[in-house]
Structure 1
Amino acid sequence: MAITTTGHSKMKNFLKGLVKEGQYTLNGTKYKTPLYKVDLTGDVIKFYLYLDDKVTGNITRFELLDIDGQTFDDTPDSIDKKGISGLLVEFHYTLRKV
């Protein structure tokens, strides 16, 4: 028996409620940042972080933090961010029964 539409929606909403905020490592120091946007479409949930033009330096990691402040997901990176524009970071998940 397949998961129902209701069950699928509840799983996506659970994940949405589990992730509380973002975090990035800039020049070796961790900074928390609010979620910029969360998008739920079909089987896909996307979490976005946005760093404005005031954030400058070398970014080596992006993270999503859960409601307990623990790292839910992280992405190592190496970006030399200049102060001339913002940066949009996306964490993308697909929830489906296989």
Structure 2
Amino acid sequence: MALTTSAHNKTKAWFQGMIAYGTYTIGSTVTQMPIYSLTLTGDVITLEFYLAETVAGTITKFQVIDKDGAVWDDQPDSVVKPALNGLLITFKYTLTRV
């Protein structure tokens, strides 16, 4: 049995409400970053974080943290971020009914 449209919509809303913040790692330092935007378009949830130009260094990991403090998504990376520009980090999730 498939989810109803109502259950599918509630699941998307629940997902949106579970995300608390993001983190990035430079060296051994993990720093929190607030949610810049969280949008729902159809079945796609787009989560964005913004790092200001004051942040600089080699970022080795981005994480999405839920309201319980647990890691929701863990993305190893290697981004050299200069102090000249900001950086927009985007996570996209598609919730589909099967």
TM-score (norm 1): 0.94
Q: Which runs of structure 1 show a deviation greater than 4 angstroms over 4 or more consecutive aligned residues?
A: none
Is residue 76 of structure 2 the alignment partner of residue 76 of structure 1?
A: yes
> 3-state SS of the aligned residue for 1:68?
coil
Question: Which range is displaced more, 5-14 or 32-41?
Answer: 5-14
User: How is 1:1-98 mapped onto 2 (pairs within 5 angstroms)?
Assistant: 1-98=1-98
- In the TM superposition, residue 3 of structure 1 has moved relative to its aligned partner by 2.5
> 3-state SS of the aligned residue for 1:6?
helix
Gaps of 5+ in 1: none
2: CA distance, partners of 1:74 / 1:86: 21
Q: How many residues align?
A: 98
- In the TM superposition, residue 97 of structure 1 has moved relative to its aligned partner by 1.3
CA-atom RMSD in angstroms: 1.1
2: CA distance, partners of 1:80 / 1:94: 28
TM-score (norm 2): 0.94
Gaps of 5+ in 2: none
> 3-state SS of the aligned residue for 2:68?
coil
What letter corresponds to residue 91 of structure 1 in structure 2? F
Q: Percent identical across equivalent pairs?
A: 45
> 3-state SS of the aligned residue for 2:3?
coil
2: CA distance, partners of 1:44 / 1:9: 12
What letter corresponds to residue 38 of structure 2 in structure 1? V
2: CA distance, partners of 1:74 / 1:87: 18
